[in-house]
Amino acid sequence: MRSIEEVIRQFEHVCWYPSAGSDFRALLFLSDWYYKKFDVPTDEGQVLPDLFVMTDYLGLGSFYAEESFWGDAYEQIGNGYCEPGSCLLHVAYENTSTDIVVTRYEKLRNMSLPYDYRLDCREEPEAYNSAFLIEVEVVSRAYDEIHRYETSVLYAAAENRMFADRIVSRYGLKMEYLVIMNYGAGCGGGNKIGFEWMFDEYKDLGIRYVVSNHGVRSCLAEYGTAGAYPELRAIYWVDGVKWTRGNPVVWYRV
């Protein structure tokens, strides 16, 4: 059984989505198809993610949505297996829809991370420390156009800071893309004040691009001092209804 660090080292352009929950929209919005279709600005030589690392201390199986949202793969993964060709989820919005189909499933070695209940306001979840890798086919339908592409997802049931310290930093792994959408600092009641620690360590983490609906620049200005954090240049945005149904989602270049 392979470890998380073994798997991540196989990929060159990694996107980390801390506190991802059941939100797989990053697979669509950070794809070659989406960038070309909607003219998202890119740097010379920029390559989009080939692996999406999603972390949440509850694990994927602890998130429930409408029955029509999840496919057979959701329940299977919760039981520690997944049959190739199983649909993970189906999302429809106006004249668009996205299906994610699992083509390969691999259970990974448990991470053996310590758990501090003071960070997350509850006892250790059953799924904590488990992880799996799935290779998926994304089928996106937009106004009678169908686009298919493949990518990989590593889902780890881990507290974000512990994952960064004990796995990412310890093994010198790099997270080129960072998605901050659902970050709740321990259910809103833990001892962590927010995500700004990621920007204290952005060089070590390898962060070059950030996508967020949190107003990252104003949050960093509130918690930091002048010059303490990297300059973030907004390069693109979408109305929040297309992703979070809330605040606008902004792409930043670090």
Q: What 8-state DSSP symbol labels residue 124? A: P
Give the C-alpha separation, 104 to 43, whole Å: 32
Residue 92 lies in a domain: no
Residue 42 lies in a domain: yes
Q: Which residue numbers in the chain have pLDDT < 70?
A: 61-68, 119-121, 143, 184-193, 221-228, 244-245
Beta bridge partners of 104: 135
Listed in sequence order, the residues at least 6 apart from 36 whose beta carbon sits closer than 8 Å to its beta carbon are none
What is the distance, to the nearest Å, from the Cα of residue 91 to the centroid of all Cα atoms in its chain? 17
In a domain, 79, yes or no: no
For residue 167, the enclosing domain spans: 4-63+110-135+150-253
Q: Is residue 145 part of a domain?
A: no
* Helix/strand/coil (H/E/C) assignment for every residue in 75-128: HHHHCCCCCCCEEEEEEEECCEEEEEEEEEEEECCCCCCCCCHHHHCCCCCCCC
Q: Residue 131 is part of a domain; what is its CATH number?
A: 3.40.50
Confidence (pLDDT) at 206:
92
pLDDT of the residue at 63: 57
Mean pLDDT of the chain: 86
Beta pairing partners, 6: none
Question: Is residue 101 situated within a structural domain?
Answer: no
Q: 89 is written with which tokens?
A: 């989820």
Identify the pLDDT of residue 91: 80
**pTM of the entire predicted model:** 0.91
Give domain status of residue 100, yes or no.
no
List pLDDT tens digits, range 173-184. 999 999 998 776
Paired tokens of 208? 């070059």
Tell me, what's the pLDDT at 88?
93
DSSP character for 70? B
Return the closest-CA partner of residue 176 out of 202, 212, 152. Answer: 202
Residue 181, judged by CB atoms within 10 A of its CB (0-12, 13-18, 19+), counts as buried
List 180's β-bridge partners, or say none: 212
Whether residue 90 lies inside any domain: the answer is no
Tell me how many domains the chain contains: 1
pLDDT recorded at residue 75? 87
Examine residue 85 and state whether it is found in any structural domain, yes or no: no
